[in-house]
Amino acid sequence: MAVLEKGINGIFRGKIGKIIGLKVNGKQYARSLPTPSKNAPTVGQLNQRLKFKLLMEWLRPLKAIIDVGYSRGSGHASPLNRAMSYHLKEAVIGVAPDYVIDFSKVILSRGRLLPSLAMEMSLVGNCLLVTWADFHWSMYCDLYDRACFVVYNVDRKEVLMFPDVAERRQGEASLCLTEGFAVGRLHVWMQYVGREGLVSTTVYLGLL
């Protein structure tokens, strides 16, 4: 059943017959429902579904970060769809059905802001200390850009997000991990969010 939002001549959400109404990035669209295929899926299609499921389960908890990091792009794709498209092509490795994510290729944000240099990290107890340096300033490197971090524990399959913990000019951030989270292998990423929604491309800091 569809819902008319502004009367009989307005936009609608839901299904009317074989037409479905939906809103993407604030814009209203209508499209026909797909026709179910009577053919069995090919090996390639099954493999693609495995990759898609693997990535969706990992990326969905990071949606808040991705919505900012992939907010700009051509076409009408959502930020999550843009992130899926990149990672399907670049970050999934292995042979079916044993696909895995190459975490060194993960990019949770794509943009023009400059990343920092000389980045280092160390783990002391439950605190992750990250330091960095910037040697010049430009329109793509502001003192007040906000540093954001994502930490993923491979063994626990849990992720922690730190979306706004320090300014670029501070040169360091201390990330307090939850109890027990530091036990295991940790992948760490860093990116910046600046004025007017500008972002930097994610930098993979490595594995602890």
The letter for the amino acid at 153 is: N
Q: Indicate the pTM of the whole model.
A: 0.80
CATH code, 117-207? 2.60.40
- Provide the pLDDT for residue 1: 46
pLDDT at position 6: 57
Which DSSP helix (H) or strand (E) runs through 23?
strand 19-24
Please answer whether residues 33 and 47 qualify as being in contact, where contact means their C-beta atoms are separated by less than 8 angstroms: no
Kindly list the domain boundaries of the chain, sorted by start residue.
43-105, 117-207
> What are the per-10-residue average pLDDT scores of the chain (208 residues)?
51 60 62 66 87 95 94 85 96 94 97 91 94 88 94 95 94 95 95 92 96
Yes or no: say if 131 and 119 are a contact pair by the CB < 8 Å rule: yes
At CA 50, angle to CA 92 and CA 43, rounded to 5? Answer: 105
